[in-house]
Structure 1
Amino acid sequence: MKLKRILAALLTAAALLSLALPAAASGGSFSDINDHSTAVNVDVLRLMGAVSGDSDGTFRPNDVLTRAQFCTMLVGLLRQQSKVPMYTTRTIFSDVTASHWARGYINLAASITVGGSGSGSGSSSEGGEGTQAQTRLISGRGDGTFAPDEKITFAEAVTILIRLLSYDETDAGAVWPEGYLNLANSLGLTDGVSLAYSAPITRAQTAQLFVNTLRCKTASGRPYYETLGASVKEKVILLDANATAEDNNSEGAIRTSDGTYLPAQEGVVPSALQGRRGVLVLDDKDRIVTFLPDETASVTVTLSGAAQPTYLTGTNGTRYNIDGDTPAYTSSKENPVTTYEKLYLELRSGSQVTLYTADGKVVGLYYGSSGASTDAVVVSGTATEAMFHQLTGGASNYTIEKNGQTITMADIQPYDVVTYDSVANKLIVSDLRLPCVYESAEPNPRAPQKITVLGHEFTVLESALESIQSFDVGKTVVLLLTADGNVAGMAEPGAKTRSTAIGLAEGSSVKVFLPAGGTIELKSSSSLSDSVKDQLVTVSSSKAGVISASRMSDRSVGGVFDLQKMTLGSYPVTAGVHVFERVSGSTVVQLELADIQAHSIPGDKIATYHLNSSDMVDFIILEGATGDAYRYGLFFAETREVNQPGEGDEPGKVSYVRTLRFESPKWSSDFDNRVGYIGDNGVPGGVAVDGDGKLRFRVTLEAVEGVSRSDFFVSNGASYVNAGGKVYQVSNKVVCYNTTTKVWFTGDDPLYQIRAYSDDLTIYVDPYGEKVRVITTQ
């Protein structure tokens, strides 16, 4: 009798547990869900239709459930919602009258029988009084009542779910509730929920129990989720929770590493599941019944320095080794699945990836803006949590990141653009602003989806539409851009909206760096000045199609660049900082933090730096500090005879000009020997040139002879050599030369080639970073 009353109570509790997610991508939870794991559970159940939202858009996770509410949710878990109308006219319990809102759910749940352990089916059916192998899922109080509005207890809920899995008293034992609770614990049904048997259960706790149920094995040994659909696909990664269907017409599709599918429940956007790996359950029409995250460990990593072919390093200093053929997933519809060896070149300092690990090995990674929301907030005034409530779907305990650096709410400034990454539960802040002429809009200027400026087509987010309507095409505006380069708003040009678009100038274009990593290319209808070629510039435009590019002005530093503390003087340096180097006005060369061996760089070796809107350093230009700004190769001094014809009867004259030829495997040039080189031909060294290709500076290298191939070794992905009593790092751009055959080693790995060719090598080390730049053999 007591057991029957418990089972009846459990079923009623499901109605209010119906959850709903806002249509826009969010944290995958309601405005009042602050726990990410609860948001994940909710989205798993929303796909099944087991939960839906209240009219006010809340879930009330801490409210306890009634028996009627539990019944409603249970019917959804069984995917039998369509049958509810058939049971609204029946009278099974005297206290569940025609006026009760959950009458159909309660009556349907009371009519469901489940297979006992003898049946081994794990299935449910309706009608009949049950046989030895069939048991009613729930029953009333024994006096013809159900008590639909009483609270359901933990033991009652667990007992019903044990029966749903086709276990009975034979499996659980005759002592209730201890036997059922012990069985539930052994199955993993109660994982994450610890309550006294008589305690009421909350909505969030019930969601956890239901998701646990999906993972549990039935009495027949079959995972319960396998009973829900026509097919099951494992080790699938959910890439985009709100994609366009393959026919390019239907929105709300779900893109996975296995393909793109529509959910069986319309209007469900399971954003909390985005980026997760798990089991995909499909119905007989190849629609998604649910997606159940597996237990694969995952970690979200912000890169410190560019990814390398066999590993990447996080800002916490942890190194993650990755095989080149490891699957890599993105939100790209055109190329959602690739491999690490094809993707790693896109991963720069500050890029964020999610790594999936099993048995201590990376088995997959997820990269892209796919975790970021498709909407944004442009900050006006002081930033508050309430400002981002709708964006995050009410999620809290999120981190806030700007240029790869964790910041506080107080660091967010007016005109900053904020998006939400549901995978990492993170607000992503961008201060990227581009003053320009509003050139064109598609399909129309009042509600554009695309805007073209300086040869680049920008995607327009919904958040931008209201501000865009204040501007006409042809006007000078400021684009307020997300970290991945989408338009989140438009603003008037002014002191507070001056350009923060910084990039490398190349001919008639500039590659502007995005806060999320990568670049966008802006093109000018006229060539840029030679003075900015291959320089770091700030970009704007006051004439349609024409780039205005200004070099970053020199700026003194009151302190050192501390690479361990990541500070520049008194300023913090962002994890995604872009570091460049030049020599005496030469073109700049971008560096990776991991390639800088020094723990700190003095202020007199820093040419300039840039502060973002939160007064954090996001760009630094070094002045001859590491030696990486040079091109390395061989010098050849030449004396060339120049004949000058005479005038009239005057005889002509012969003069001699000293020139300096520089040669490397992929680049060579002749220079006016203004640097006064008088050394021997074929001597290794380095040159720094300006945008016109003119020699700005020359460096000689220290030779260390008698180096053996066995003196080289690899540590943490970098090559080193023990020579002359010291250990030197070998530059990843080292050039290798055979002085006898006069031939460069030009394969993919010249260091390997020259070591394989000879065991008698000479290394050449630069005086700045003390790296091996050139290696020769005879």
Structure 2
Amino acid sequence: MKKRLLALLLAVCLLVPAFSLPAAAASANINMEIQTARMLGILSTEMSQNLDAPVTRAEFAQMMVAASVYRDSLGEQSAVGTLFPDVTSETPSAEYIRIAVQQGWISGYTDGTFRPNDPVTLEVACTSALKMLGYKTSELSGPFPTAQLSKATELGLRDQITSGQGAQLTRAECAVLMYNTLTATTSGGQTYGSSLGLTITEGEVDASGALRQNLDGPYIAAAGEVLPFAPATIYRNGQISTSSELNQYDVYYYSESLNAVWIYTNRAAGRITAVSPSASAPTAVTIAGLSYKIGSSSVAYRISALSGGGVGQVVTLLLGMDDEVVGIVTEEEVDQTYYGVVESTNRTLTVQDGADVLQVVKVLCTDGTVRAFQVDKNLNYPEGWLLSIHASEEGEKVQPLNGRSVGGLFDSNAMTLGEYKLANDVKILDTGTEGGGVVIRPDRLNGVNLSTGDVRYYELNEKGEISHLILDDVTGDIWTYGCLVGISNRSDSTGLGSIQPDAVLMKIVSGLATGSLLDDIWKGLTGNTGKLISLILGTIADNTDGLVGSIIGSVASGAQYTYMVDGMPTTASADIKYPVLAGGIAVRTESNGNVRAMAQLQPILIDGLGAAYATSGDKRYELSDNMQVYLWHMGVYYKTTLASINAEDYYLTGWYDNFGCTAGGQVRILMALKKN
């Protein structure tokens, strides 16, 4: 859940272009503080339009109330007539001013006026913040405003505010001041923000939690429903989207202050197999082997024993943020179909109604979730098979999928594949024929021409749009990538016995140090083995997966391989040999751990490095989202980060996949060698 909330916070950060930050708010920290102030309503939408404008006394009263426990009681106070000659009950900000004055945070002038449109100075704002924290003027040491400004500095209220005494504060600076107030210590020794239900950790507001608290929702869309406003930013299942369309049973949340909406279309359908902790008061429900937290009292009642629901009931759960169950569909309205690839099957003995065999198949569905379904004990469901599972009021029906292919240019901007339109919430799964797979974002395939051989299956929704797309190892992302460190138990009859990964890599490093071309070194190494090239050419015909040049079987002696994955050593045995020499390799394994395929990655000498790409001469290579970065020293790989290396102080070798995946060719391993 914490990761999902963090994703929400990062999503909010994307909203920054919706308004301009003043020069004083240029730092990342101030930006985050302003965003948090917006989430909490301290900065209204109108104030956010011009953060450089001086904040008025009326606006500052509004900001203080929004940063207090009184923010939830607005509108509950009865009208009290005229507060000040220049603030009447008809004044839009009157309610905020009334609360701020009643609490003693701010006062009127000696002439009886409030002057709501006058600007607020640093000393006035700090004095008001101190009063919110419970500090009395009589307890401060020194005259006004020296005592107030000194105490404000001590408490951190002036952190990242550059304005001095007498200066008029901008809206941005007052937002930072209110943020600092939330994290400051009260006169009673407590953190002020905690009194508002906020979580303060190491002097910072848990902004993701604050966002969650201030979202409107969840709401469940009815047929034909539209959003209550036109949002500037739309997130659909956690991804940026251009469509605000709502379909029946979609779950949505929105924030008018952030001008954003979050739409979720995920559902879980099938027969309930368990509820916990009790049948009469469930807080979690299990469907298809997965447990979901119940986030609605009405849902809890509908699947409880008190309403006749529970285990055995066929339902569709409507999932909102953090995959919480916020709605439920039952009886004839239940209609949900999953599509996916078989990961494993298991037959076990059951004695519930006498001794019998129970078969359960685990399916990786197109939404990335592995679900378990009971199937006919007499049928076989091999790993890698494609299945559909249809949940209706009668239960769950599992069926094999016949291949259904489509090809064409994939355009994630126009959301099209060839002549077909892609659904806004299209689910894409890249798979291997041995089972397993990974969920793919549409932008990962942008600009890729898919052949009919790249697509194992596609499904259309009622609008004729592709709603589910299952690929056949198009991206290369289903492979495990690592750095080869050892090969043992090899027979010299293959011609590979003289090659050691360290020696090969040392020769590459030597070539880098002397300025030799990496391609020439690599060709020289592979050519020196003599039998290696002929072995590759002689066994390509035995490629069972259709990956040109990627799976090469040798004589039946086999080998054991040791390689680093994410900084950890991994050992795998294979009954056949694979011509991997050194550096980056790609591995695919079956569910039992046996190696199904292994391929050598191609090395490139990197002379330029960006955040998402690397250059080698005049060629540009995309960096994988999960690229591993290593510092290599004396034959040892030390895992590090992209930010810790550069192309000026290190020799950089990239290892990219070039074994035939249509959307492959990404740098999977980056190896750095310090030049000195």
Length-normalised TM-score, structure 1: 0.46
Q: Does 1:67 align with 2:92?
A: no
Q: Following the alignment from structure 1 to structure 2, what is the Cα–Cα distance between the partners of residues 514 and 226?
A: 54
2:418 is aligned, of 551, 569, 572, to 569
Q: Secondary structure at the match of 1:67?
A: coil
Native 8 Å contact 2:607 2:615 kept in 1: yes
Q: Does 1:383 align with 2:225?
A: yes
2:472 is aligned, of 623, 642, 655, to 623
Q: Which residue of 2 aligns with 1:177?
A: none
Q: Following the alignment from structure 2 to structure 1, what is the Cα–Cα distance between the partners of residues 274 and 338?
A: 22
Identify if the C-alpha distance between structure 1 residues 637 and 591 changes in structure 2 by more than 3 Å, giving closer, same or farther: farther
Q: Which residue of 1 aligns with 2:310?
A: 473
Amino acid at match of 1:412: L
CA displacement, residues 26-77 of structure 1 (integer Å, 9 cap, x when unaligned): x999xxx9979799996854647599566899xxxxxxx9835559737724
Identify if the C-alpha distance between structure 1 residues 383 and 558 changes in structure 2 by more than 3 Å, giving closer, same or farther: farther
1:722 is aligned, of 598, 616, 630, to 616
Identify if the C-alpha distance between structure 1 residues 36 and 460 changes in structure 2 by more than 3 Å, giving closer, same or farther: farther
Q: Following the alignment from structure 1 to structure 2, what is the Cα–Cα distance between the partners of residues 227 and 776?
A: 57
Identify if the C-alpha distance between structure 1 residues 369 and 442 changes in structure 2 by more than 3 Å, giving closer, same or farther: farther
RMSD: 6.4
Q: Give how far 1:490 is off.
A: 1.9
Identify if the C-alpha distance between structure 1 residues 438 and 40 changes in structure 2 by more than 3 Å, giving closer, same or farther: farther
Q: Which one has more relative contact order, counting CA pairs under 8 Å at least 6 apart?
A: 1
Q: Give how far 1:419 is off.
A: 3.0
Q: Following the alignment from structure 2 to structure 1, what is the Cα–Cα distance between the partners of residues 320 and 292?
A: 14
2:323 is aligned, of 485, 493, 496, to 485
CA displacement, residues 670-726 of structure 1 (integer Å, 9 cap, x when unaligned): 3344xxx6869779764444435555555555566xx5xxx44311244x3526x64
Q: Does 1:770 align with 2:670?
A: no
Q: Which residue of 1 aligns with 2:525?
A: none
Q: Following the alignment from structure 1 to structure 2, what is the Cα–Cα distance between the partners of residues 507 and 580?
A: 20
Q: Does 1:414 align with 2:248?
A: yes
Structure with higher Rg: it is 1
Q: Which residue of 1 aligns with 2:522?
A: none
Q: Secondary structure at the match of 1:484?
A: helix
Bigger drift between 548-557 and 475-484 goes to: 548-557
2:263 is aligned, of 429, 447, 452, to 429
1:661 is aligned, of 559, 563, 580, to 559
CA displacement, residues 249-302 of structure 1 (integer Å, 9 cap, x when unaligned): xxxxxxxxxxxxxxxxxxxxxxxx9xx9564388766899999x9xxxxxxxxx
> What aligned pairs does 1:210-249 form with structure 2 within 5 A after superposition?
216-217=120-121, 222=126, 224-230=128-134
Identify if the C-alpha distance between structure 1 residues 460 and 614 changes in structure 2 by more than 3 Å, giving closer, same or farther: farther
Report percent identity of matched pairs.
15
Identify if the C-alpha distance between structure 1 residues 483 and 575 changes in structure 2 by more than 3 Å, giving closer, same or farther: farther
Q: Give how far 1:161 is off.
A: 2.6
Q: Following the alignment from structure 1 to structure 2, what is the Cα–Cα distance between the partners of residues 621 and 229?
A: 57
Identify if the C-alpha distance between structure 1 residues 617 and 752 changes in structure 2 by more than 3 Å, giving closer, same or farther: farther
Native 8 Å contact 1:765 1:774 kept in 2: no
Q: Which residue of 2 aligns with 1:135?
A: 110
Q: Give how far 1:757 is off.
A: 13
Q: Give how far 1:625 is off.
A: 3.0
Native 8 Å contact 1:554 1:608 kept in 2: yes
Q: Give how far 1:489 is off.
A: 1.9
Q: Following the alignment from structure 1 to structure 2, what is the Cα–Cα distance between the partners of residues 37 and 750?
A: 35
Native 8 Å contact 1:729 1:770 kept in 2: yes
Identify if the C-alpha distance between structure 1 residues 753 and 505 changes in structure 2 by more than 3 Å, giving closer, same or farther: farther
Q: Following the alignment from structure 2 to structure 1, what is the Cα–Cα distance between the partners of residues 89 and 643?
A: 73
Q: Secondary structure at the match of 2:293?
A: strand
Q: Which residue of 1 aligns with 2:291?
A: 456
Q: Secondary structure at the match of 1:745?
A: strand
Q: Following the alignment from structure 1 to structure 2, what is the Cα–Cα distance between the partners of residues 750 and 289?
A: 39
Q: Give how far 1:458 is off.
A: 1.0
Q: Following the alignment from structure 1 to structure 2, what is the Cα–Cα distance between the partners of residues 754 and 541?
A: 53
Q: Which residue of 2 aligns with 1:671?
A: 574
CA displacement, residues 634-663 of structure 1 (integer Å, 9 cap, x when unaligned): 68895699xxxxxxxxxxxxxx96144362
Bigger helix share: 2
Native 8 Å contact 2:342 2:436 kept in 1: no
Q: Following the alignment from structure 2 to structure 1, what is the Cα–Cα distance between the partners of residues 217 and 460?
A: 26
Identify if the C-alpha distance between structure 1 residues 764 and 377 changes in structure 2 by more than 3 Å, giving closer, same or farther: closer
Q: Which residue of 2 aligns with 1:557?
A: 406
Q: Secondary structure at the match of 1:76?
A: helix
Native 8 Å contact 1:447 1:465 kept in 2: yes
2:114 is aligned, of 144, 158, 161, to 161
Q: Following the alignment from structure 1 to structure 2, what is the Cα–Cα distance between the partners of residues 400 and 703?
A: 40
CA displacement, residues 203-236 of structure 1 (integer Å, 9 cap, x when unaligned): xxxxxxxxxxxxx128868554444441577689
Q: Following the alignment from structure 2 to structure 1, what is the Cα–Cα distance between the partners of residues 89 and 400?
A: 69
Q: Which residue of 1 aligns with 2:639?
A: 747
Q: Following the alignment from structure 1 to structure 2, what is the Cα–Cα distance between the partners of residues 774 and 672?
A: 26
Q: Which residue of 1 aligns with 2:546?
A: none
Q: Secondary structure at the match of 1:161?
A: coil
Identify if the C-alpha distance between structure 1 residues 748 and 660 changes in structure 2 by more than 3 Å, giving closer, same or farther: farther
Q: Does 1:370 align with 2:207?
A: no
Aligned residue pairs: how many?
485
Amino acid at match of 1:722: S
Amino acid at match of 1:67: T
Native 8 Å contact 2:315 2:331 kept in 1: yes
Q: Does 1:713 align with 2:611?
A: no
Native 8 Å contact 2:560 2:573 kept in 1: yes
Q: Following the alignment from structure 1 to structure 2, what is the Cα–Cα distance between the partners of residues 592 and 576?
A: 10
Q: Which residue of 2 aligns with 1:691?
A: 591
Q: Give how far 1:437 is off.
A: 3.5
Q: Following the alignment from structure 1 to structure 2, what is the Cα–Cα distance between the partners of residues 36 and 759?
A: 50
Native 8 Å contact 2:489 2:558 kept in 1: yes
Q: Following the alignment from structure 2 to structure 1, what is the Cα–Cα distance between the partners of residues 555 and 310?
A: 57
**Structure 2 runs not aligned, ≥5 long:** 1-38, 50-58, 79-85, 136-151, 159-174, 347-360, 494-553
Q: Following the alignment from structure 1 to structure 2, what is the Cα–Cα distance between the partners of residues 52 and 760?
A: 60
Native 8 Å contact 1:432 1:481 kept in 2: yes
